[in-house]
Amino acid sequence: MRDIRIGRLKGRFVVIWNDDSGKRRRHRLAAHTAKEAEAEARDIVLRMSAPVGGVSVAQIWAAYQAEMGGRRQAAKLAQTGRNILPVMGHLSAERLTIKDSRDYIAKRRAEGRKDATIRTELGCLRSAVLWAARSKLIGSAPQIELPPAPPPRDRYLTRREVGALIDAAVDPHIRLAMLLMLTTAGRIGAILELTWDRVDFDRRTIRLATNDIGPRKGRATVPINDTLMAALQDARAGALSEYVVEWGGRQVGSIKTGFNAAVARAGIDHCTAHDLRRTAGRFMAEAGVPIEQIAQYLGHSNPNVTRSTYAQFSPDYLRAAAGSLELGGVRLVQRTKERPPK
């Protein structure tokens, strides 16, 4: 995005910028507030500065990243953009074709990248062009083809592995993050964004959502059990910032390095931080917790999603179905055994 400035002219908002030739440009806006003016100004400059082929992927990408602000999606766009933009940034966003997607997939595969990584990169591109279409920056969003989705991971830790992993976490903030993920079933993003004002020690609850609206993926308000209560009280006593998981008085952006080191020290098979959330769901199902309650704990709006993943771990799973297939009980089995050989 080029540098732009919002100003006032005769009581109206205007946007001022320099075009590619260095000429100063100015355009009057319809906005009535500063926030509206910022959004409208960005869109105006994009349209008026677009090349003959239309707004480029790079321009859309930069505008979408700016729109995301401080959200985690902005950081994701910054990371994936390093791979997408050198290849597709110069192309017209509205004129992208299926061939462009397939060429990109082939190129990344040739570089040794897995389909899951390529799906993430092209998924960001799809989100960007869909946003551009909704924002009227382009007439319509082109179709972005993604490689096939990989089979879902089914890595769950046993209770022995969980104990070994926590014991292997030598850094206090890594250990606390693990305990939070296991006892709240929260996603890693929610855990790292958790602040002390959303930890209610009196009511023994944690509100994972940052506000009443919350992020796109559901974040629940969950109870604090005894295990977590002890860990949180210790952490609160030594807290240097507003963030529950902190290091040196600052918010922690990622625990990947420390987490992987703990996995290696524990001597267990490869797992990710998200596997702890899955493991928490399995532990609840194995304990006979109703699916509807597990769904609320995980922040799922549709219990059927929870059921499709975790019902198989319930002690009563398919029990009634097996009972319906009883074939005469013990006497039938005994008679079968007593039948003389031919």
pLDDT digits (tens, 9 = 90+) for 223-274: 999 999 999 999 999 999 999 999 999 999 899 999 999 999 999 988 999 9
**Segment 22-71, tens digit of pLDDT:** 777 777 777 778 777 777 676 666 665 555 457 889 989 988 998 888 77
pLDDT > 70 in the chain, percent: 86
pLDDT of residue 1: 44
> Which whole-number Å values give the CA distances from 305 to 71, 252, 273, 285, 299, in the listed order?
26, 31, 20, 14, 11
pLDDT of residue 217: 56
Looking at mean pLDDT, say which of 93-97, 178-182, 313-317 comes out highest.
178-182
Q: 276 or 27: which carries more pLDDT confidence?
A: 276
pLDDT of residue 340: 59
pLDDT of residue 75: 86
How many CB atoms are located within 10 Å of the residue 232 CB?
22
pLDDT of residue 9: 80
pLDDT of residue 215: 47
pLDDT of residue 200: 96
Place 339 in a pLDDT band, splitting at 50, 70 and 90: low
Mean pLDDT of all residues in the chain?
86
pLDDT of residue 27: 73
pLDDT of residue 115: 93
pLDDT of residue 268: 93
